[in-house]
Amino acid sequence: MSFEQLFHDVYPRLHRYCTRLTADSDVAEDAAQEAFVRLLDHGVTGERSRLKSWLFKVATHLIRDRVRVKDNRARLLEENPVQPPPVETPAEELQRSEDVARVRAALDSLSERDRTLLLLREEGFAYRELAEAVDVKATSVGTLLARARERLARALDDEDET
Amino acid sequence: MTNHPDDGRLQTYLDGELSFDGLEAVERHLLSCEPCRERVDALREREARVKAALAQLDRQMDAEGREVEPEAALWRVRQARARRRSATRRRRLATAATVVLLLGAGAAAAMPGSPLRSWIAGDDEPVRVETAEVETEGAALSFQLRDGEGRVEIVEPGDEVELQLRLAQRAEVHVAAPPGASFETGPGWARITGGHRGALRVELPMDARRASVTVDQRSRVELREGVLEVDGREVDPRQAADDEGWISLPRAPDGGDGGRDEGEDHLEQAPEEA
């Protein structure tokens, strides 16, 4: 697999993962692209799955290291989205803003480990890879995922009530 | 049945991560246990809800009118990489020069095999994406022209790599590299880095609107509408080639105006910034 094939295969999912994690398209784009630059810098080689895990791990660390991500999250919650698409009516825009803010708040209420597990699982990572990403035993991943989903569902319920 | 599987085990079952024995045991249990079947349904329902909720976050990007543009992103990655490599080289050169001045070690640096010499030369780690078979046997690749244009970039070829060129009646560019080389390719271009010993052969389509070969970012070969230039001078392939049509390129450009900056090519062919 060439670098370009790997890029086209992984980048869209890595970008989505980063966007979901940060709620900031610019930060997500920076982190996803920087992960690939580092892949080249470090001359990392191996199986596709290993390279994919490596990229997600590096992007996660990059995002974690950026303090301004938190600021951006807060800003997003305060300001709500900008520039609605022309096809969206004011009512639809309001609904979307509320939906996004509600999920974002629920997700942010989780621990970093729960959040990472849920988002990586959504991108198709196997238990073995998830275990490596959050540094737990592979046999614990099912339990941790079940709890993380339960917590997120409860947090969504709480958001619905407020 | 008293040993009901816990939620973690049922989640593992739903995610298809149980071993064959584990899977069989859970399914056998579920056949006879209504409460556990209901728990599985509840877990499944919760999973669907979580999935739908997370998908809501993607609507933010849609609302901002943002789209994932892999081609533009790939171009930015390559630019960032090129900038970083260039900066690393400059840093190493500057540091090396300082060290040479401080230590008076210019003579040592000029000695073949001196670590200082390779340091000054800026030997970056090779870009290696898929090199295993290349390392042992050498390898070849072909790629299609893009809008009638193609580019071959040769980067840091080994001292014993011989560069050869041939024009061919074919639709794609073909490159065969000696052992130790690594490849990167994209639409209308390929980059070959390194190589231990042997011929690095490039075949360009005769009918290409434009095809070029650069070595360490210096333009060495230009083919435009059937006119071939090597190191800035027009060459008649029938006279310059051997019996098989191969033209050997000298290691270094022998004068001419061949040292154009490769950066222009990148900008010309790269997708526009988002």
Query: What was the pLDDT predicted at B28?
Result: 92
A62–chain B Cβ distance below 8 A for any pair:
no
Chain B, 136-155: which have a CB under 8 Å from a chain A CB? none
The residue that leads in pLDDT, B42 or B102, is B42
CATH of domain A92-162: 1.10.10.10
In this structure, are strands B172-177 and B139-144 parallel, antiparallel, or unpaired?
A: antiparallel
- On chain A, the residues whose CB falls within 8 A of the CB of B17 are 126-127, 141-142
Model confidence at B101, pLDDT cuts 50, 70, 90, reads very low
A13–chain B Cβ distance below 8 A for any pair:
no
B41–chain A Cβ distance below 8 A for any pair:
no
Query: What was the pLDDT predicted at B45?
Result: 94
Model confidence at B74, pLDDT cuts 50, 70, 90, reads confident
Model confidence at B83, pLDDT cuts 50, 70, 90, reads confident
- All residues at 6 or more sequence positions from B164 whose CB lies less than 8 Å from its CB, including other chains: B199, B200, B201, B202, B246, B247, B248, B249
Q: Cβ contact (<8 Å) for A149 and B51? A: no
Q: State how far the Cα of B194 lies from the Cα of B128, in Å rounded to an integer.
A: 10
**Cβ count within 10 A of residue B67:** 10
Of the candidates A82, A122, A142, which has its C-beta nearest B54's C-beta?
A: A122
Model confidence at B250, pLDDT cuts 50, 70, 90, reads confident
Domain locations in chain A as residue ranges: 1-79, 92-162
A1-79 fold: Rna Polymerase Sigma Factor; Chain: A (1.10.1740)
When pLDDT is averaged across residues A16-24 and rounded to a whole number, the result is: 87
Using the predicted structure, report yes or no on whether residue A68 has a pLDDT greater than 80. Answer: no
ipTM of the complex: 0.75
Phi, psi of B216 (to 5 degrees): 50, 45
Q: Where do we find the tokens 């070690």?
A: B105
- CB distance B210 to B148 below 8 Å: yes
Model confidence at B267, pLDDT cuts 50, 70, 90, reads very low
Q: State how far the Cα of B180 lies from the Cα of B224, in Å rounded to an integer.
A: 31
- On chain B, the residues whose CB falls within 8 A of the CB of A152 are 50, 53
- All residues at 6 or more sequence positions from A128 whose CB lies less than 8 Å from its CB, including other chains: A138
Q: State how far the Cα of B64 lies from the Cα of A82, in Å rounded to an integer.
A: 7
Q: Cβ contact (<8 Å) for B12 and A104? A: no
Query: What was the pLDDT predicted at B245?
Result: 84
Using the predicted structure, report yes or no on whether residue B257 has a pLDDT greater than 70. Answer: no
Q: State how far the Cα of B145 lies from the Cα of B188, in Å rounded to an integer.
A: 5
Q: Could you give the residue ranges of the DSSP H alpha helices within A42-89?
A: 48-65, 68-79
- Residue B125: closest C-alpha in chain A: A43
Q: State how far the Cα of A137 lies from the Cα of A44, in Å rounded to an integer.
A: 25
Domain A1-79 shares a fold with domain A92-162: no
Q: Cβ contact (<8 Å) for B128 and A126? A: no
Pick the range with the lowest mean pLDDT from A35-44, A105-114, B261-270: B261-270
Number of separate helices (H) and strands (E) present in chain A: 8, 0
- All residues at 6 or more sequence positions from B195 whose CB lies less than 8 Å from its CB, including other chains: B157, B158, B161, B177, B178, B179, B180, B181
| Per-residue model confidence as pLDDT tens digits over B201-240 | 999 988 888 999 999 888 999 998 888 899 888 888 878 8
- Residue B64: closest C-alpha in chain A: A83
- On chain B, the residues whose CB falls within 8 A of the CB of A146 are 7-8, 10-11, 43
Chain B, 7-36: which have a CB under 8 Å from a chain A CB? 7-12, 15, 17
When pLDDT is averaged across residues A32-60 and rounded to a whole number, the result is: 87
Dmax of chain B from CA atoms?
89
**Cβ count within 10 A of residue B141:** 17
| Per-residue model confidence as pLDDT tens digits over A145-154 | 999 999 999 9
Using the predicted structure, report yes or no on whether residue A106 has a pLDDT greater than 50. Answer: yes
The residue that leads in pLDDT, B268 or A162, is A162
Domain locations in chain B as residue ranges: 7-63, 70-120, 132-269
Q: Cβ contact (<8 Å) for B125 and A43? A: yes
The residue that leads in pLDDT, B222 or B197, is B222
Distance, in angstroms, between B19 CA and closest chain A CA? Answer: 11
A30–chain B Cβ distance below 8 A for any pair:
no
Q: Cβ contact (<8 Å) for B59 and A99? A: yes
When pLDDT is averaged across residues B93-108 and rounded to a whole number, the result is: 47
Q: What is the dihedral of CA B86, B92, B97, B101, to 10 degrees?
A: 160
Using the predicted structure, report yes or no on whether residue B13 has a pLDDT greater than 90. Answer: yes
Q: State how far the Cα of B13 lies from the Cα of A43, in Å rounded to an integer.
A: 37
